[in-house]
Every structure is written in structure tokens, then in C-alpha cells.
Amino acid sequence: MQEFILPAVDTKTLGAPKFEYAFQIHARFEPATQTKTTRGGRYMRGIAGGKITGPRLTGEVYPNSGGDFSFVERDGVHELNARFMLRAADTGEWIYVEHRGYRRPDGYYRIQAQFDADKQGKYQSLNNAMWLASAQESKDGAEVTFTYFEVV
């Protein structure tokens, strides 16, 4: 290891990442099914529908287009694994959403998201960008609001 030097990060030249608020998805979920598997557990709920609001996208969650199928670890932490479809209100374009992240018993519910949109469509900018989201579940657990930020 002696030959490796510790260069500093070139942040001043390029700038640190910034988080820009893009939109929110107010999702409605079906009641959850929980199973115990040989590896751990699954906590699964289908996405019934939802609304998208915000500066960069408005539209709807396509009803019953997927859901969250988290893997439940032994310590109760959910490894999030969600996918579902959106439709933009103005152009009717389809957008695919994928979530990865963690939901902890202490309330931490954070997501790395990925979008797939038509590369020549109006929402092509969602594609090659990095997304973070924070999520908040309603008291009855039936609704979750996902707030998406682009990492620029």
C-alpha cells in the first residue's frame, strides 16, 4: 500500500452533488401480505393507484401496475424492492419506476430510484439521472408519499 497516495477529492472544481426536488407520488397500496421464507421474509403489497404532482411531472400511477416486494431482514429492516408504472398527464407517456432502498423500524425510509422513459419523449431527462427519494407512510399504512430529488 505504500505506493498509494491520498489525493483530495476534486470537489471544488466540479462541485458537490445537489438535490433538486422534482415531484411527489402519492401512492395508494393494497393491504400487505407477509410471508416467511427460508431466507427471511417478504412484505408485499400491490400498488392500487396514485397521483403525481410537482414541478417536473404530473400524472397518475397506473392502477395495479406493480407494488413493493420488500425483503425483510432478521432485524426487521425492509430492503425495498418496488416497481410500477406511471403515465404522464400531458403526453400519456409511460414511465417505469424502480425503487431500491431501506426502511428501518426507526422510521428511516429512503430510496434510490430509477426511471425509464422514452428516450425521445418529453420526459427523457428522467432516464440518465440519479434519483433519491424519501418516503412517508400514512398512519393507516394505506398511502405512501414518495418525494423524488434528482442528484445533479
d(CA 26, CA 135): 10
CB of 111 to another protein, least distance (A): 7
Give the list of residues 6+ apart from residue 93 with CB closer than 8 angstroms, or none. 87, 117, 118, 121, 122, 123
Site for another protein in 55-114 (CB under 8 A): 77, 100-102, 104, 108, 110-112
- Integer Cα distance of 133 and 97 in angstroms: 12
* Total residue count of the chain as it appears in this document: 152
Distance of CA 12 to the CA centre of its chain: 30
Minimum CB distance to another protein, residue 72 (Å)? 13
**Is residue 4 near another protein by the rule CB under 8 A?**
yes
Q: Which is nearer to another protein, 8 or 36 (CB)?
A: 8
Q: Which of 15, 31, 92, 107 binds another protein (CB under 8 A)?
A: 15
Assigned C-alpha cell, 121: 419523449
Could you tell me the smallest distance in angstroms from the CB atom of residue 92 to another protein?
Answer: 26
DSSP 8-state code for residue 20: E
User: Which long-range contacts (C-beta less than 8 Å, at least 24 apart) are formed by 112-115?
Assistant: 113/146, 113/148
7 near another protein, rule: CB under 8 A: yes
Q: Indicate whether 125 belongs to the interface with another protein (CB under 8 A).
A: no
> Which spans of this chain sit near another protein (rule: CB under 8 A)?
1-21, 24, 77, 100-102, 104, 108, 110-112, 128, 130, 132, 134, 136, 145, 147, 149, 151-152
